[in-house]
Amino acid sequence: MTERRRPRILIITRNLPPLVGGMERLNWHMAEELAKHADVIVIGPQGAAAMAPQGVRVREVPLRPLWRFIFSAAMMTLREAREFLPDVVLAGSGLTAPIALIAGRVTKARTAVYVHGLDLTTRHVIYRMAWIPAIRRMHRVIANSRASATLATDIRVKPDEIAIVHPGVEIPDIIVDVQSIRLFRQQLGLATNTILLSVGRLSERKGLREFVRESLPRIVEQKPDTVLLVVGDEPRDALNAKAQTRASIQEEAVKAGVGEHVKFLGVVTDRDQLLTIYRASVVHVFPVRQLPGDPEGFGMVAVEAAASGIPTVAFATGGIVDAVADGVSGRLVKPGDYSSFSEAVIETIAYSSNQQEKCRDFALQFAWSHFGDRVFNEILGDAHASDEEVSG
């Protein structure tokens, strides 16, 4: 019996910590989980190596400007591919698909791309001419939701080359640190308040400005002690994301008479601190707008909230319908219906404490370990099984 070589996977992505966001967390965990099955090298932005998962080698290239990242990542990928001889070259988003395609052809490796939604709908003429064809030529296109899979078929990716693997989530310990939650509430002066939570970049698509104008006043009218905590900031390194500034959101809140009911916490990267914030909250609100050409690919924060036992109220748009189970981990509302959104939040506040176990059970299926196994099986499962048969 001959010893079988571990598979080799080369990942190219611009979305890694120290950048902050859902795509960054996903690519970090994807590298971590795939490293349990294979030798992994990542081509990523400057600063990523210091924060790399254990056992993952990172080759850094400049993050800015975008053209420099693409050029430098292409050169670094070709050099590493020739030395590493990967079995799979994996693009962490559509942005790096052309690089993965070229490296795969040079080394005769399988190619794959994990797509998030917006990378399938970007209207830039050069992107449509060069990047979309590269995505179509991948051996495997892994979509983060059913909605993104549909977008992939819309750009003529063959259905049998598309797989759906939902993003993962960290499943926190079931034991709740009540003292930390109490201290956090006291520090903000919210010891007895009803806390609503919003987590994510302050972009036009996330719709927070519209929420504080259209829904929050009705919620405060019914629950005067309600305060909305906002975790996140304006997008800076995200592609195509239009910002809603803190000032513009606060201005709308003041105009609507709920200015004192909104508090901004900024970016929170410490996972324990974020877990405390989730558990101090009663309902996670996710009023994502349905905008042409700017889809919400999945909605990882809704699953993170569920993992912490917190239900989400969201508009039923894009991949959010995969991230929120209506009546189980929260409520889904017709897009743009702010009156129904307000009512759903008010109703969810009333029974939030009874939803914790259902929310956690729903989130278990999204554990990062399951995510890693599924991605590995989609990009290399058949070839890996064949190698085992030959070596056996």
Q: Are 280 and 185 in contact (CB under 8 A)?
A: yes
245 and 299 together in one domain: yes
156 and 260 together in one domain: no
Within-domain flag for 247: yes
353 and 210 together in one domain: yes
Sheet strands (E) in 158-261: 162-164, 194-199, 226-231
80 and 137 together in one domain: yes
- Confidence (pTM): 0.89
Q: Kindly state the tokens that stand for 159.
A: 């259905």
3-state per-residue secondary structure call for 10-48: EEECCCCCCCCCHHHHHHHHHHHHHCCCCEEEEEEECCC
For residue 214, the tally of other CB atoms under 10 A from its CB is: 19
**In which domain, by residue range, is 104 found?**
8-168+367-391
144 and 189 together in one domain: no
Burial 96-131 (b: 16+ CB within 10 A, else e): bbbbbbbbbeebebbbbbbbbbbbbbbeeeebeeeb
**CATH number for 256:** 3.40.50.2000
Within-domain flag for 2: no
Closest Cα partner for 31 from 23, 47, 42, 17?
42
Residue with the two structure tokens 């003041």: 254
15 and 127 together in one domain: yes
Tally the domains of the chain: 2
Q: Are 30 and 114 in contact (CB under 8 A)?
A: yes
Q: What is the pLDDT of residues 82-120, one digit of tens each?
A: 999 999 999 999 999 999 999 999 999 999 999 999 999
- Report the alpha-carbon distance of residue 363 to residue 291 in Å, rounded: 27
| Tens digit of pLDDT at every position of the chain (392 positions) | 456 789 999 999 999 999 888 899 999 999 999 999 999 999 999 999 999 999 999 999 999 999 999 999 999 999 999 999 999 999 999 999 999 999 999 999 999 999 999 999 998 999 999 999 999 999 999 999 999 999 999 999 999 999 999 999 999 987 778 999 999 999 999 999 999 999 998 999 999 999 999 999 999 999 999 999 999 988 775 555 678 999 999 999 999 999 999 999 999 988 899 999 999 999 999 999 998 888 999 999 999 999 999 999 999 999 999 999 999 999 999 999 999 999 999 999 998 888 899 999 999 999 999 999 999 999 997 655 444 443 44
374 and 348 together in one domain: no
Within-domain flag for 173: no
317 and 278 together in one domain: yes
248 and 300 together in one domain: yes
Residue with the two structure tokens 């797989």: 163
Sheet strands (E) in 138-254: 140-143, 162-164, 194-199, 226-231
28 and 154 together in one domain: yes
Within-domain flag for 1: no
196 and 211 together in one domain: yes
Within-domain flag for 3: no
186 and 297 together in one domain: yes
